[in-house]
Chains A and B, each alone.
Chain A
């Protein structure tokens, strides 16, 4: 099993914020497209370390992680592959809630994998 570790603070930005790439340079969309999704495709398990940043913002987190579902990953697949590490449990809980919510929306629209 090959694993990857992503530290947002050291590998992406100490100041991540914003939803879309058009909104700002360190957005959730940019993180998902440039780092998170490629790692999830390449590795069996990906650990994302949230510590060390100066905050995020719910738009960043929703787009980065909820957006994975909208781009084709399923919630069940992410539960097997994705590990979130944070000293603040609020972040971990929120991220899984965003993934679950995005999955529910996808299900309700009848989108198949």
Chain B
């Protein structure tokens, strides 16, 4: 995030930025997704001020080419996408709840044995996460809010033989900040001023079993958590602003914590294994 913050700072100060990608050896999906989203915002807001260097690593180049990152840096596409490590990655983005855009991801998950008694609900959770972004994430502006055409959701997914990994990002208001503005939460939090963002996010992500007893909460996060609770392993992490909430399916445990760095929006990381189902206890 320091890398992203540094480029933000340089562009804000009017400088041109050259990103040297030559030393990249490995790309992590969560960081890469934020980078791709920010790259789209940077190049739209600062045309011609961002350039780059090809990665030395061919796989890294193929991946960044495949998701359009190199073109945004003024680098032409020169690789044929052949790497087995690149082909399973898929990148989608949009401003509307248009599930057709990521239908290939949904179909690939539903076509596998997700090891879940109601695997069809995966698509519901995904749609609801995107719906949350479109309906709530950009309801009011904060310092990192992009201009309207870029008030988007971004999805980066990896489909492998034994699992699917999905990351979803929006550059919106963040969950804790959004909740602190909602009328019913304002009342609820009056006597809980000591609640940190992470505890607030945990309350928002868990269902009616929590102590909040709030009637109108976003459905997307609790549905993802409930769905994940029927997985045998894998899990879900939601990073937003300064807070992270996680559910570990193997341990059947939720946790929340404060982050050392600020996420400029909300990042959902969802790890779904194939083939195994939790036995009834």
B is a partner of A: yes
Measuring CB to CB, which residues of chain A are less than 8 angstroms from any residue of chain B?
Answer: 13-20, 23-27, 53-60, 88, 90
Q: How far is the CA of A14 from the CA of B100 in the complex (A)?
A: 8
Interchain CB contact under 8 A, B124 and A15: no
* Interface residue? B31 (CB, 8 A): no
Interface size on B, residues (CB 8 A): 25
Q: How far is the CA of A50 from the CA of B114 in the complex (A)?
A: 21
CB distance from B226 to the nearest CB of A (A): 11
Task: Tell me the residues in window 25-67 of chain B with beta carbons closer than 8 Å to chain A beta carbons.
Answer: none
Answer whether A54 and B96 are a contact pair too, CB < 8 Å, given A18-B127, A18-B131, A88-B120.
no
CB distance from B105 to the nearest CB of A (A): 10
Specify the chain A residue showing the minimal Cβ separation from B100.
A15
Interchain CB contact under 8 A, A59 and B107: no
Q: How far is the CA of A26 from the CA of B118 in the complex (A)?
A: 23
Task: Tell me the residues in window 131-175 of chain B with beta carbons closer than 8 Å to chain A beta carbons.
Answer: 131, 134-135
Interchain CB contact under 8 A, A57 and B103: no
Interchain CB contact under 8 A, A56 and B127: yes
* Interface residue? B219 (CB, 8 A): yes
Interchain CB contact under 8 A, A54 and B123: yes
Answer whether A26 and B121 are a contact pair too, CB < 8 Å, given A54-B110, A58-B223.
no
CB distance from B117 to the nearest CB of A (A): 10
The one of A13, A55, A59 that contacts B123, using a Cβ cutoff of 8 Å: A55
The 7 closest A-B pairs by CB, nearest first: A55-B123, A18-B97, A57-B127, A24-B97, A15-B99, A17-B127, A17-B99
Interchain CB contact under 8 A, B123 and A88: no
Interchain CB contact under 8 A, A18 and B123: no
Taking CB atoms, residues of chain B closer than 8 Å to A16 are 99
The one of A13, A19, A25 that contacts B131, using a Cβ cutoff of 8 Å: A19
Answer whether A55 and B97 are a contact pair too, CB < 8 Å, given A15-B103, A23-B135.
no
**Which residue, A16, A25, A59, has most C-beta atoms of chain B within 10 A?**
A59
Interchain CB contact under 8 A, B128 and A58: yes
Taking CB atoms, residues of chain B closer than 8 Å to A54 are 99, 103, 106-107, 110, 123
Q: How far is the CA of A60 from the CA of B126 in the complex (A)?
A: 12
* Interface residue? B247 (CB, 8 A): no
Answer whether A55 and B120 are a contact pair too, CB < 8 Å, given A14-B103, A19-B135.
yes
